[in-house]
Amino acid sequence: MKTSIGTVLVAIALAGCQSSQTTEPGEVGTAQAQRSGFLGDYSQLKPAPDRDGVELYVDRSVDYTRYTKLLLDPIQVLAAPAPGQPPPAPDAIARMSADFQQSLQRALAPAYQVVTTPGPDVLRVRIAITNVQAVKPPTGASDFIPIKALYNAGRAVAGTSPRLVEMTAEMEALAPDGRRVIAATATRRGDKTLPQGEQITWTELQSISDYWAGSFRRRLDEVRSPAAAGVSADE
């Protein structure tokens, strides 16, 4: 599989993509959806029936069997403002992007080729890790990432329960004409064996990245399967 230094992947996985779900006022302990704006339009996304914590859109009128190559935009890591905290360190952001890139490369090989130029058989993929918040790691800790993966964003309405915001992978795939054909958002809730804490280590991030990347690969395989052909309804 070919890739360039400039082709640094995020965040779908997908998307294998999964996404954040919305909680009702008063529901405590469940991460709440918070749109980062990375995808621009979220109106097409619907909860995936087969995976918790995932929102998904697939244009089923597209013949995906023609696409075996992927053009991956540089992965973005988008942090939410953290009062009293500086933005995440650039080296931490770069490492998060690189780790996800490696997870995607492992998941996609050898069935999908990563290329650096567009073409009629190439899907362009945009991915971001969003809704992270900068934080100072615990004193003496060497493996913790200087971000919060789950944090309290305050109260949506006075008197309601705290709004918990979850680290999210956001992804979209674009056809050669620029039309969006797949989009997804995902949190860690799709697999309860994944680290679910507020702060995570680099080792734990690797397992999350591998999970999202694997989900992305499985979703691509699914839409390219013979069983998916001829289905015109959007998901």
Q: Which of 33, 28, 22 is CA-nearest to residue 162?
A: 28
Task: Tell me which residues of the chain have a pLDDT lower than 70.
Answer: 1-33, 141, 154-162, 226-235
pLDDT of residue 25: 34
Q: Token match 């097409």: residue?
A: 44
At residue 161, the pLDDT reads 59
The dihedral region occupied by 188, where left means phi > 0, alpha psi between -120 and 50, and beta the remainder, is alpha
Q: For residues 149 and 130, what is the distance between their CA atoms, to the nearest angstrom? A: 9
**CB pairs under 8 A, 24+ apart, for 222-230?**
223/58, 223/60, 223/62, 223/64, 223/182, 224/64, 224/65, 224/67, 228/60, 228/64, 229/63, 229/65
Cα–Cα nearest to 10, from 71, 54, 75, 79: 75
Put simply, whether the predicted model's pTM sits higher than 0.85 gets the answer no
Position 193 scores a pLDDT of 86
Give residues with Cβ within 8 angstroms of 214, minimum separation 6. Answer: 13, 16, 107
| DSSP character at residue 195 | -
- The pLDDT, as a whole number, for residue 235 is 46
In angstroms, what CA-CA distances link 22 with 28, 83, 163, 188?
12, 24, 10, 14
Q: What integer pLDDT is reported at residue 33 of this predicted model?
A: 54
At 135-162, the pLDDT tens digits run 887 777 678 899 999 888 765 555 555 6
**C-alpha–C-alpha distance, residues 89 and 192, integer Å:** 29
One-letter amino acid at 70 equals L
The pLDDT score that the predictor gives to residue 162 is: 65
**Contact assessment for residue 17 and residue 211, using Cβ atoms and an 8 Å cutoff:** no
Residue 57's CB is within 10 A of a number of other CB atoms, namely 23
Domains, in order of start, for the chain: 54-139+162-226 (3.30.160)
For 100-133, how does the pLDDT look when each residue is reduced to its tens digit (9 = 90+)?
Answer: 989 999 999 999 999 999 999 999 999 999 999 9
Compute the distance between CA of residue 138 and CA of residue 180 in angstroms, rounded to an integer: 41
Q: Return the pLDDT at 159.
A: 58
pLDDT score, position 153: 75
User: At 169, is the secondary structure helix, strand, or coil?
Assistant: strand
**Predicted local confidence at residue 191, as pLDDT:** 85
The runs of H, that is alpha helices, within 3-79 are none
- Determine the pLDDT at residue 16: 37
Of 48, 70, 101, residue with least CA distance to 209: 101
In the chain, count H helices and then E strands: 2, 12
